[in-house]
Structure 1
Amino acid sequence: MKYLVVSDNHGDRQILVDLFNRYKEQVDYIFHCGDSELASDDPLWEGVYVVTGNTDSDSRYEVSQVVDTGEDVVYLTHGHLSGVKMGLTQLDMQAQEDKATIALFGHTHQLGCEVNKGRLFLNPGSILQPRGTIPIKTYAIIESTETSFQVQYYDRNFDPIESLAFTFNK
Structure 2
Amino acid sequence: MKKTKILVVSDTHKMHANFEKALEREKPFDYLFHAGDVEGREFEIEYGSGCPAYIVSGNNDFYGKAPMSVEIQIGTHKVFMAHGHQFYVSMTLEHLIREARERNADIIIFGHTHVPYLEIGRDMAVMNPGSLTYPRQEGRLPSYIILEIDENGKISGEIKYIKKK
TM beyond 0.5: yes
Of residues 9, 14, 39, the one that matches 1:6 is 9
Quote the offset at 1:43 in angstroms: 4.4
**1:16 matched to which residue of 2?**
19
Aligned residue number for residue 38 of structure 2: 36
Query: Structure 2-normalised TM-score?
Result: 0.84
- Structure 1 segments of 4 or more deviating over 6 A? none
Q: Select between 108-117 and 6-15 the one with higher mean Cα deviation.
A: 108-117
2:103 counterpart of 1:98: yes
The whole-number CA distance in structure 2 between the counterparts of 1:59 and 1:38 is: 6
Q: CA deviation at 1:24?
A: 4.5
Which protein has the bigger strand share? 1
Correspondences of 1:84-95 after superposition (within 5 Å): 84-95=89-100
- Which structure 2 residue ranges, 5 or more long, are not aligned? none
Residues 17 and 135 of structure 1: is their aligned pair in 2 closer, same or farther, counting only changes over 3 Å? closer
Following the alignment from structure 1 to structure 2, what is the Cα–Cα distance between the partners of residues 74 and 143?
Answer: 13
- Amino acid across the alignment from 1:30: L
* Paired letter, 1:52: S
Q: Secondary structure at the match of 2:80?
A: strand
DSSP-derived class of the 1:95 partner: helix
Q: Give yes or no for the alignment of 1:133 onto 2:138.
A: yes
Query: How big is each residue's C-alpha offset from its partner over 1:28-65, in whole Å with a ceiling of 9 and x where there is no partner?
Result: 1110000111244x243133100000111224110000
Report the equivalent of 1:119.
124
Cα 1:13–1:38 shift into 2, 3 Å: farther
List gaps (5 residues or longer) in structure 1: 158-170
Q: Which has the higher contact order (CA 8 A, sep 6+)?
A: 2
Distance 1:123 1:88 in 2: 11
8 A Cα contact 1:7 1:35, kept in partner: yes
Give 2:67's aligned amino acid. E
Superimposed CA distance per residue, residues 139-159 of structure 1 (whole angstroms, 9 cap, x where no aligned partner): 0101123363221122225xx
Among candidates 54, 62, 67, match of residue 49 of structure 1: 54
Q: Cα 1:2–1:71, aligned 2, differ >3 Å: closer, same or farther?
A: farther
- The correspondence for 2:65, drawn from 60, 64, 68, is 60
How many residues are aligned here? 155
